[in-house]
Structure 1
Amino acid sequence: MSTFEFMDTLGQEDLARYLTPPIKQTDAARFGLPADDEITDDQVLADPVRAARDAYLAGEWQPGADLLAGIGTDWDRRGTAVSVLSKVAADDDTALKAWRTARPDDPDAAIVHADSLTNVAWQIRTAQRASNVSREQFAGFQRVLEQADEACQIAAELAPDDPTPWGKRCSIAMGRQYSRDDFREIWAGVMARDPLNVAAHSRAMQYWCAKWFGSHELMWEFAEEGAAKHPKLAWLPLAAAFEMWASDVKNPWQDKRVEQALDTLLPWLDGEGRDAPEARDSRAFAARALVELKRGEEAIEQFRRLGAHADGFVWSYNAFGSVHEFRKIRSRACRLAR
């Protein structure tokens, strides 16, 4: 067995125990930051969303239904709430079944059901490399993804103005290996309902990456187009640089488009976007970019706002876990700030 084959047999905790490299300790308290041992990858949730999730875990659907009804057409917050509830339903659908029985034509229950099927599909496939996924797992993955796609289309029919089912289909399209033309058709469905939908832009960004069905050029084109729409999408060029870094491209963070994006994103995070549902992911991308650009003091300010939670997407590309990556980059920020 090779080293890489052995690594594939290990869970995240085993990897961390056996392989995690040491991180140079920094005096986090000096910068007003939580101690290293306080860092967690638990997701930060608004109180109403957390309460609905906890009720859902206990088998009670009404708080979740009330939450989505109350959010209304705040599409970014709606997408976040749907994702939280659907993750619970993928593991235990007790509350969801009761909800759908009580309200069979409820569009909110329909989209939570559709998204939960997407989560179940990825559970079947697992996060292993394709070479370690069995034929049966792939077959189950595709079968459940097809069901999820059909469920999303039903949810879209029940709520014609809601971009959420269309945004969820962007993720399904990646798993089902939709062609670029087919993906663009789904994307048009999102744009017709919410041209600034953050979650949909995040999923589409992944589709246009070279590792999926795009290229570096198409990814950057998409990122620049999105960032020009609104400051809340200015994180897209930072995500593009991050994907280039993950593809071993040399010095992607020094691209002038990264600094231009920061010039737009940072003021928005300090003002209108301070408490936006997408702010934490945007801050995480900003913190990473600022460290790479050796702007330590500014990075520290973003880490102060992030607190002890390593729940951003940018920390997840690490075999040793999000907490380790967060601490590593934060440590670099502290050294730069000194």
Structure 2
Amino acid sequence: MAFLRALIRTARMVRNTPLLAAGLTPDDEVLLDAPDDRLGPALVAAGRGDYDPAAKLLAMTREGNEWENRDRYTTRLAAFARSRSEWFDDWQCAAPHDPDALLVKAELAVVRGWESPAHAELLRESAPLLTAAAEADPRDPVPWRIALDHARGTHAPQSVFDEVWAEAVHRSSHHYGCHASALQYLSASWYGSHRQCFEFAEGAARDALPGSLIQALPARAAFAYLTSSSGSVPRERLDAAADLGIAVSGAYEAGDPWPAEVRNLLTYVLVRLERWSDALEQLRLIGPHATSFPWDRMADDPLGQFLELRDGIRIEVASGTPLRTGGGRPRPDDH
């Protein structure tokens, strides 16, 4: 009987897995952290040593109060400057007091600080750069998102976290990046607990604007729990977080790069919950937009990890899909 069940499982995989590729982007077309149409040219120019497009792009986000885009672009530009700094060095020399250059400089310093085994000490030394970035444009919430990451890395107490969080929400009460950074500080892996993490995420989701990615914050809390090594969260709470994430994801078009990171994270959560069909649907919505997070938490090759997981999800769904006759109708024994 065990052999028969294994045979049926294999037959289902062989029959159904190719069919489940429908709607999935081919492997060779999936890109990791692909830039959007605005960031892409700025990165290409920076690769040639020209900082001007990057400077203009960040100035545009600042002048237009595009805080979410500003945060994402700052992160990507700092990551590029970490490996190829000539263009950024030229920018700082040409405009040392530019609010946008100061912002990238602060982000870059915090990222570099985190990379060091002595990160707490290095991060404390970078505090004046955060102050300079915050003072350069008092309206901007992004320096305060960086400050939340800084607070976590310097082992800042809850009282300091509360002060930084208050400054962040004063500038933008619905900024996703600040909420994600605050959630990480409050997670059980850092200075909070699973209870604090979920309560923060669920409260923020209730207060979020319609269509806001903050509504998917409970899925991020579920990720924090599922990647921790302690504590217990009821399955119903994890499923509710995943359901909310699915609803938020469904509000965006398939292949939209904006919710890509949320969809990648949600896919991980759904896999851990063994909700294979839901995970497969997220893969279809992700399209070509794989993101480093969360896969870089599991492998040095995040794109390879993502593609391998796609195959695994397809096989799991196929193994649970009833065999079909030539006419496509279920066989009597499928019931």
In structure 2, the CA distance between the partners of 1:194 and 1:272, relative to structure 1 (3 Å rule), is farther
After TM superposition, give the deviation of residue 169 of structure 1 in Å. 0.7
Task: Give the equivalent residue in structure 2 for 1:97.
Answer: 89
User: Where does structure 1 differ by over 6 angstroms across 4 or more consecutive aligned residues?
Assistant: 273-277
Counterparts of 1:299 and 1:244, CA distance in 2: 18
Counterparts of 1:288 and 1:282, CA distance in 2: 10
In structure 2, the CA distance between the partners of 1:57 and 1:121, relative to structure 1 (3 Å rule), is farther
Q: Please, which of 95, 99, 107 is the counterpart of residue 115 of structure 1?
A: 107
Q: Please, which of 70, 78, 88 is the counterpart of residue 70 of structure 2?
A: 78
Counterparts of 1:181 and 1:273, CA distance in 2: 40
Task: Give the equivalent residue in structure 2 for 1:310.
Answer: 290
Task: Give the equivalent residue in structure 1 for 2:269.
Answer: 289
The count of aligned residue pairs is 299
Structure 2: segments with no counterpart, 5+ residues: 1-12, 319-335
After TM superposition, give the deviation of residue 326 of structure 1 in Å. 2.3
Q: Is the 8 A contact 2:20 2:314 kept in 1?
A: no
Q: Is the 8 A contact 1:48 1:67 kept in 2?
A: yes
After TM superposition, give the deviation of residue 208 of structure 1 in Å. 1.0
In structure 2, the CA distance between the partners of 1:283 and 1:88, relative to structure 1 (3 Å rule), is same
Task: Give the equivalent residue in structure 2 for 1:170.
Answer: 148
Task: Give the equivalent residue in structure 1 for 2:80.
Answer: 88
Using the TM superposition, name which of 148-157 and 271-280 deviates more: 271-280
After TM superposition, give the deviation of residue 309 of structure 1 in Å. 4.3
Work out which of the two has the higher radius of gyration on C-alpha atoms and give 1 or 2.
2
User: Where do 1:8-157 residues align within 5 Å?
Assistant: 26-27=17-18, 30-35=21-26, 38=28, 42-71=32-61, 72-123=64-115, 125=116, 133=117, 138=118, 141-157=119-135
Q: Write the letter of the residue equivalent to 1:27.
A: P
User: Where do 1:127-276 residues align within 5 Å?
Assistant: 133=117, 138=118, 141-230=119-208, 231-248=212-229, 255-271=235-251
Counterparts of 1:251 and 1:330, CA distance in 2: 28
Q: Write the letter of the residue equivalent to 1:48.
A: R
In structure 2, the CA distance between the partners of 1:326 and 1:93, relative to structure 1 (3 Å rule), is closer
Instruction: Name the % identity.
Output: 28
In structure 2, the CA distance between the partners of 1:78 and 1:47, relative to structure 1 (3 Å rule), is same
Q: Write the letter of the residue equivalent to 1:54.
A: V
Counterparts of 2:21 and 2:82, CA distance in 1: 42
After TM superposition, give the deviation of residue 82 of structure 1 in Å. 0.5
Using the TM superposition, name which of 82-91 and 324-333 deviates more: 324-333
Counterparts of 1:255 and 1:52, CA distance in 2: 44
SS at the partner of 1:228?
Answer: helix
SS at the partner of 1:244?
Answer: helix
Q: Write the letter of the residue equivalent to 1:233.
A: I
Q: Is the 8 A contact 1:107 1:158 kept in 2?
A: yes
In structure 2, the CA distance between the partners of 1:161 and 1:28, relative to structure 1 (3 Å rule), is farther
- The two structures have a TM-score, normalised by structure 1, of 0.78
Q: Is the 8 A contact 1:76 1:277 kept in 2?
A: no
| Cα displacement string for residues 244-277 of structure 1 (whole angstroms, at most 9, x for unaligned residues) | 222246885x633334344443343333587876
How much is the aligned-residue C-alpha RMSD, in angstroms?
Answer: 2.8
SS at the partner of 1:234?
Answer: helix
Q: Is the 8 A contact 2:254 2:287 kept in 1?
A: no
Using the TM superposition, name which of 181-190 and 326-335 deviates more: 326-335
Q: Write the letter of the residue equivalent to 1:85.
A: L
Counterparts of 1:160 and 1:87, CA distance in 2: 24
Counterparts of 2:228 and 2:29, CA distance in 1: 27
After TM superposition, give the deviation of residue 60 of structure 1 in Å. 1.1
- The two structures have a TM-score, normalised by structure 2, of 0.79
In structure 2, the CA distance between the partners of 1:172 and 1:110, relative to structure 1 (3 Å rule), is same
Structure 1: segments with no counterpart, 5+ residues: 1-23, 126-132
Task: Give the equivalent residue in structure 2 for 1:300.
Answer: 280
After TM superposition, give the deviation of residue 295 of structure 1 in Å. 4.1
Counterparts of 2:111 and 2:307, CA distance in 1: 28
